[in-house]
Structure 1
């Protein structure tokens, strides 16, 4: 019985220390797409959108995705370089749809996010997609 309790406690602690991650992202980098109207993100657990940042922008020349992501997160949510529109809703959500400006030009775009995990740790990431 003690062994079972120890295993259950270890499993619970392991789950509690896990960080939020993006489980579904669209569009992806696998193949070029026609100009999308939205970017879709799904997380492994609901995140508090009040403490989250999302940016979509054309990939800057001469920058790595990590460098561009850092620059993107420093931009205000309504910066003219961004192609995502409108404010991100508040509240808790595990799925999010970011509307994009119409008629995106051909080329690479970077999706950037920064959220707080349920355990309070910041989690950020980025992904590229290409418009044909």
Structure 2
């Protein structure tokens, strides 16, 4: 019985790892001049064709969580988005997401939904401010 519990515990430890965003520029909660792109690095390569990335200005009183959900629900070419459509469709451990020129001052949310290597979707978001 003890060996069965040990095997289960070891198995759970290796199956729970999900892909994560390990670096982001602009950094979370930073204030920057209007950036030209968003740079993301991942803990492991991801399939870009199964991933979604969106950048959108937060509306007045809108929480980052609600902004991220709204951004991810938009089509890739929606006019509300600050990023252009992602054209890369390969396996990548990092990504540069081009932004539309001339971002206005305000708070922006960067939202992502990626497919982890183990098949689980991973969502997340970060915010930055353009001065």
Calculate the TM-score normalised by the size of structure 1.
Answer: 0.87
CA contact (8 A) 2:53 2:113 kept: yes
- Kindly state the Cα deviation for residue 13 of structure 1 after the two structures are TM-superposed: 5.5
Count of residues paired in the alignment: 126
Structure 1, unpaired ranges of 5+: none
| Aligned equivalent of 1:103 | 102
Matched residues in 2 for 1:82 and 1:31: separation?
Answer: 20
| Aligned equivalent of 2:125 | 126
| Aligned equivalent of 2:38 | 39
- Kindly state the Cα deviation for residue 30 of structure 1 after the two structures are TM-superposed: 4.0
- Kindly state the Cα deviation for residue 31 of structure 1 after the two structures are TM-superposed: 3.0
Instruction: Provide, for residues 7-55 of structure 1, a one-character-per-residue CA deviation record: whole Å limited to 9, x for no partner.
Output: 8x92x75234301110000102343101000000001000111110000
| Aligned equivalent of 1:20 | 19
CA contact (8 A) 1:29 1:130 kept: no
Q: What's the C-alpha RMSD, in Å, of the aligned pairs?
A: 1.8
Q: Return 81-90 or 116-125, whichever deviates more.
A: 81-90
| Aligned equivalent of 1:70 | 69
- Kindly state the Cα deviation for residue 60 of structure 1 after the two structures are TM-superposed: 1.8
| Aligned equivalent of 1:90 | 89
| Aligned equivalent of 2:49 | 50
Detail structure 1 runs of 4+ shifted over 2 Å in the superposition: 12-17
Structure 2, unpaired ranges of 5+: none
Matched residues in 1 for 2:87 and 2:59: separation?
Answer: 23
Calculate the TM-score normalised by the size of structure 2.
Answer: 0.88
